[in-house]
Amino acid sequence: YTYDSGGNILTMSDGTTSHTYTYGDSDWKDLLTAYDGQSITYDGAGNPTSYYNGSRWNLTWVDGRKLDRVESTDGTVISYIYDVSGSRRSKTVDGVTHSYIWESGRPLREILSGETEVYSAGDTLYFFYDQSGSPYALMYNGVTYYYILNGQGDVVRLVDSSGAASASYEYDPYGKILSATGSMAEVNPLRYRGYYYDAETGFYYVNSRYYDPGVGRFLNADGYASTGQGLVGFNMFAYCGNNPVNRVDPIGQFWKELWGTFIQTIQQARGYFAVAAGVSQVDSPVPGPADVVSGVLLLGGILVCAGLATHNTITAPSLSISIPKAEEKAKEKVAAITSEPSSTVIYRYGGTNPGNLTPSQRDVDAYPTTGKGLSFSTVPKPGAAMTTIEALNATGVVYAVHDGPGHVSVHPIGGTLEDWHKAGSSSIWTTAVKSVVIKWDGGK
């Protein structure tokens, strides 16, 4: 790679092929006006309207900086819809819609409306994350796979419950996918840095904007004129200050150094061994599901502490589903969490009895129209069951999403709202909710 003094890539070569970059706008010198000699044009906000990265794309933007529509010269048409927070709610590719639920900048669920080369109509993906926000598992049509990440947070493998690889990935420093192999390689959308990969464009969706790893730059200008991160921080298109090996940009606005996160991971590795030992005792004397999870946790600790050259670490599920005898400890934890500024405290009117924490037939009947699950409110009411969005999502059994003014819906993972209703108040979903709620008496 070669760069100019403003942090713009001038040339890129892998020893076999080379690419050239042209910056021909005298008023905005960071605008990439041609790639490999092919022109790129922009609107006044720095959004490309005709873009080239090896393929030609025509782009339409709304609300300032939101990508609304993409058309390729081969006839592919892609459109996007965003929610009030700016998160992408849906993506429609040639008539097939991918519908999403996002929370804290990460996808929790994806459902397909029709058949594609990779998916069938109705296919559903659930995404699970550890306490640091890194992806640790993917449930695809009821089957769970586990992510293996390297030290930079890239998804390098996907393994099944037996530890067999279902997908493997290789990337260049800027995140361009060099290889993707295995039966789940195209199904899984979380790739480099854990970003969501749009296979049809080759872009990564990084919350506030899109990143093109083939070119090594963000697609459009940052919303900030400067990130305050040195001279390159004034470049509104540069990715991670042109140091992607040691930095990550979680939301497309500010990069951060990776090593602080990596050191924290090493310190946390001690917990893998302790948890693995405990989990292995959960089910029975003979090998069972808990032993598989224990093995994955143990492997994760070994890989981290061994300090392999590739720094491959496995982030296995944190088993945060409380069993009945641990309920009091869970409630103490919720009480502590609700006092943290970063937590979103929510209330289920009607108390903490299991029947109230289970969807009613009315909820099931309304779902096709409203899309809402078990209802919680952000407005406190004495006598209500109190918890936080974060505590519910940490169970790994249900997920909560803020889907309206003052309203939060709780949905089951691995089943439908109707499944939850039919399973009743003793279901795993109700048990998970029950384990992380306390009764609020009106005090602070």
The string of pLDDT tens digits covering residues 122-166 is 999 999 998 788 898 999 998 999 999 988 889 999 999 888 999
Per-residue confidence at 67, pLDDT binned at 50, 70, 90?
very high
Q: Alpha-carbon distance 317 to 138, whole Å? A: 10
Per-residue confidence at 432, pLDDT binned at 50, 70, 90?
confident
- Report yes or no: 10 and 20 within 8 Å, Cβ to Cβ: yes
Least reliable range by pLDDT among 92-101, 350-359, 365-374, 389-398: 389-398
- Report yes or no: 272 and 297 within 8 Å, Cβ to Cβ: yes
- Report yes or no: 395 and 388 within 8 Å, Cβ to Cβ: no
Least reliable range by pLDDT among 4-13, 117-126, 181-190, 413-422: 413-422
How do residues 317-346 score in pLDDT, each as one tens digit?
333 333 333 345 444 545 554 555 567 899
Share of the chain above pLDDT 90, in %: 49
Per-residue confidence at 270, pLDDT binned at 50, 70, 90?
very low
> 24 pLDDT exceeds 70?
yes
Rg (CA), the chain: 23
Per-residue confidence at 86, pLDDT binned at 50, 70, 90?
confident
Share of the chain above pLDDT 70, in %: 75
